[in-house]
Amino acid sequence: MDVDLRKLRYFVAVAEHLHFGRAAEALHIAQPVLSRQIRALEEELRAQLFVRTKRATELTPAGEQLLADARPLLASAEGLRRRVARAARGGEVFTVGFMPGLIVTPAVRAFGERHPGLTVEVVRTTWDDQTATLHDGRVDVGYVRLPIDRRGLRVTPLWSEPRVAALPADHPLAGKDAVGIADLAHERLLQNPDAVPEWRDVATRRDPEVRFRAVEEKLEHVAGGHGVVVLPLSVAVFYTRPGVGYVPVTDIPPNQVCLAWSAGRRSPLIAEFAAVAREMSVAVDSF
């Protein structure tokens, strides 16, 4: 049985919205059309994917499983489309993703000098999309910060670096030589807590989750006295600014920087870039 990717996209939209009307609006199709496509998919898979009541739409266990499998499948299909389109335009392009604070220029330049006919581009990623860009083909390789979901990826370690707390400049802890993660337990965290699981384990404050995508946004809110963030040292060095003080957090593991790429890719260029990246990896270890 061949699964229709269009139906999978429709399914993921409904699963993410848990509302047929909103999903149809996001997909720019009529709701009856969407409902028919989902019923057709359920018939093809011989499984009920949603439970619909007057008040809610919920995933069944089969739907939960399909959602987990459908997302990487759709991302791989999108990656294939991007690579084919790129090849059709002529001229080979190799794209490197990188997280804030990371300097990838030495490896990118060295790699480009080995392949003068290759266009090497760089793309800045964020905590939310550093792996998505690998799955959907926006980048060929990516400098990522752990922890990440490694499913469907190959990952090679490069270096590690200490982590620091970014605090308002007038915060009582801002003048300390170092702090422990427990010292931040009552603070409002202005980032995804999955990025700082050590804080999540000891937190005594349970505010509604706040997520700012850009480092600049996070630090602007820190300077305004709205909370704190925990950052890798290289990010703190790169984004030093008035109104924010940085203090080492000494009792949590360092942040691990890795190079990652899709496990399904077998390009010799990827293997070569990984070797260059390992050779030229340099960690920031002090302000």
Which residue, 50, 55, 43, 9, is CA-closest to 28? 9
pLDDT, residue 92, reads 81
Burial classification of residue 197, based on how many CB atoms lie within 10 Å of its CB (0-12 exposed, 13-18 middle, 19 or more buried): exposed
pLDDT band at 86 (very low <50, low <70, confident <90, very high): low
Question: Is 5-76's fold the same as 91-160+255-279's?
Answer: no
More confident residue, 99 or 77: 99
Reported as a single tens digit per residue, the pLDDT across 16-75 is 999 999 999 999 999 999 999 999 999 999 999 999 888 889 999 999 999 988 887 887
The predicted model gives 119-129 an average pLDDT of 91
pLDDT, residue 197, reads 92
Q: What is 5-76's CATH number, 1.10.3720.10, 1.10.10.10, 1.10.1200.10, 3.40.50.1980?
A: 1.10.10.10
| Residue 262 · residue 142 · CB < 8 Å | no
Interacting residues of 235 by C-beta distance below 8 A, sequence separation 6+? 100, 101, 215
Identify the helix (H) or strand (E) that includes residue 202: helix 197-202
Distances (CA, A) of 94 to 6, 49, 76, 111: 28, 39, 17, 10
| Residue 199 · residue 184 · CB < 8 Å | yes
Fold that domain 163-248 belongs to in CATH: D-Maltodextrin-Binding Protein; domain 2 (3.40.190)
Domain ranges (residues) in the chain: 5-76, 91-160+255-279, 163-248
Taken as a whole, the chain contains a residue count of 287
Q: Which CATH superfamily is domain 91-160+255-279 in?
A: Periplasmic binding protein-like II (3.40.190.10)
pLDDT at 199 over 90: yes
The predicted model gives 136-142 an average pLDDT of 92
More confident residue, 272 or 90: 272
Q: DSSP code of 191? A: S
Q: pTM of the predicted model, to two decimals?
A: 0.72
pLDDT at 81 over 80: no
Interacting residues of 150 by C-beta distance below 8 A, sequence separation 6+? 260
Reported as a single tens digit per residue, the pLDDT across 201-228 is 999 877 666 667 789 999 999 999 999 9
Q: What percent of the chain has pLDDT over 70?
A: 93
pLDDT at 91 over 60: no
